[in-house]
Amino acid sequence: MEVANARNPATKRKFDDAVSNGVATDVDLSLLEAIEKSQNAVEVLDLRTLKKHVLSFERRLKENIEARLKYPNQPDRFADSEVELHDELQKLKVLAGAPELYPDLVSLNVVPSIVDLLNHDNTDIAIDVVQLLQDLTDEDVLDDNDDSARVLVDALVDNSALELLVQNLHRLNDSDPDENVAVYGTLATVENLIEVKPAVAELVCEKTKLLKWLLGKIKVREFDSNKQYASEILAILLQSSTVNQKKLGQMNGVDVVLQAVAMYKSKDPKSSDEEEMLENLFDCLCCLLMPLENKERFVKAEGVELMIIIMKQKKLAYGSAIRALDFAMTKYPPACERFVDVLGLKTAFAAFMGKASATTT
C-alpha cells in the first residue's frame, strides 16, 4: 500500500489527487494522517529515554564484541553488528539536547564503554565516538549547564578519554575526508574539555603525546583547516601553563615554531584563515618565550635574526615579530645584546619613526 511510503513527496501528491477525485478511502486518509503525526513527533528527552538508548547501545555493543570474537577473520560475519553499533552511537547524539541528564548518563556507567570504542579496530566506529563526544561537550550545549558539564568531563577524564582520543588521532589520515573531519572533531573535543575544566590543558600534555602531534602538524608546509586548528590548540595549551611552555621547549618546540613562522618572512597569508593561523603561531612563540630557558633557546636558534628579517620585509607578520622580540628581550640581556650586535636597532628605529608603516600602506 502506498500509504506506507507517504513520506515520499510524489506519493503524497498521489494521495492529494486521490482525495480531490474522491478515490481515497477513509481508512487510507486515517493511515496517512497517523503516519504524518508520527513523523512530526519529537522524542521526549527524559531519564526513561536515556535508559532506553543506553540499554540499546549496550546490547548492540555486546553483540558486536561477541561477533568479532567468534568470527575474527570473517568481517562479513560481524559487519551487520558494526552497522547496528554505528546506528546506536548516532542515536546517542540526541542526548546533547538534554545536558541536564549527563549526571544520569555517568551514573548508568556507560561512559567507559563509549570511550573504549575509540580503540575499536574499525576506525569508522572510533570516528563515530569522536563525533559523539564533540556533540556532547559542545560549548553551546554546556554553556548553561556548568554542574552537569563538570560531571561528564570528570567522567571522561577518569576513563582515559584524553589518552584514547590522542591515540586515535595518531592513526587518522588527513587525506581521507571522514578522517580529516575526525581530526578536527578530536581537537574540538579537547578544546571543549579545557573550557569546562582548565586543568585538562596540563593533563593532556602530561598523559598524552598531543604536543608532539601538534608540532608535527604545524611543521607541514601546506595550509589547511586542521593546521590552523592545531596552531589554535597549541596556543591554548601554552597560554596559561608554565609547565607546558617548559615541556614544549624541551621538545625543540621553540625551533619548530620559528620554522613555522619563517614560512611567512617574505610572503603574506593567502586567506583570513591562514592569517589567523599565523597569529596563533606568534601567540605560541610569545608564550614559549616566557620561561628563561626558552629565551636562551630562541637566541641560539637565531630567532632574533629571523624577527629582524621579518621586520625588514615589512609583511603582515611585521608587528608580531616586534612583539616576539619584546618577549625575548624582557629580563634577558643576552637577547638584547644579540639584537644590538645584528644591527636590530636600525630596523627598530625605522619602525619608531613610522617609516615601516608608511611603506606597508
Task: Give the pLDDT confidence score for residue 7 in this predicted structure.
Answer: 40
The x, y and z cell numbers of residue 44, run together, are: 521526549
**How many Cα atoms sit within 13 Å of 80 on the Cβ side?**
4
CB 152 within 8 A of CB 106: yes
Task: Give the pLDDT confidence score for residue 39 in this predicted structure.
Answer: 45
Task: Give the pLDDT confidence score for residue 1 in this predicted structure.
Answer: 37
pTM: 0.84
Task: Give the pLDDT confidence score for residue 14 in this predicted structure.
Answer: 47
Task: Give the pLDDT confidence score for residue 360 in this predicted structure.
Answer: 41
pLDDT profile of the chain (361 residues), mean per 10: 40 50 53 52 79 97 96 92 96 94 97 98 97 95 86 97 97 94 98 96 98 97 96 97 98 98 94 97 98 98 96 90 96 96 86 52 34
Q: Which amino acid, residue 336?
A: C
What is the CA 246 to chain-centroid distance, rounded?
Answer: 24
